[in-house]
Amino acid sequence: MTKNNTFEEKYPKITFFTDSYGWIEIGFGDTYNDSSFIKAYDQGGTVWEGKETYKTTDEALDDLEQALSKWYDETIGE
């Protein structure tokens, strides 16, 4: 990612999802028995849960971007 790229350019599916469908959580928050570092939710509940650990936050966001791309194809499809 160059310094000129925005979050929206690097992660278009995450941006679309959070603008139109739901929200994401990064980190473990108040629940210490969480098994996932990053998650996506919509009004119906959990859409996706990532791995417990990642080497970097970018790696976690890349994983979520790929998962939401698949979710988009399966749920909305065009």
Structure confidence by residue, pLDDT tens digits, 65-75: 999 999 998 88
How confident is the model at residue 58, as a pLDDT? Answer: 95
- Look up tokens 């996706």; give the residue: 48
> Which DSSP string do the residues of 20-38 spell out, in sequence order?
HTEEEEES-TT-TT---SE
Helical residues (DSSP H) of the chain, grouped into ranges: 7-10, 12-20, 57-75
Segments of the chain with pLDDT less than 50:
1
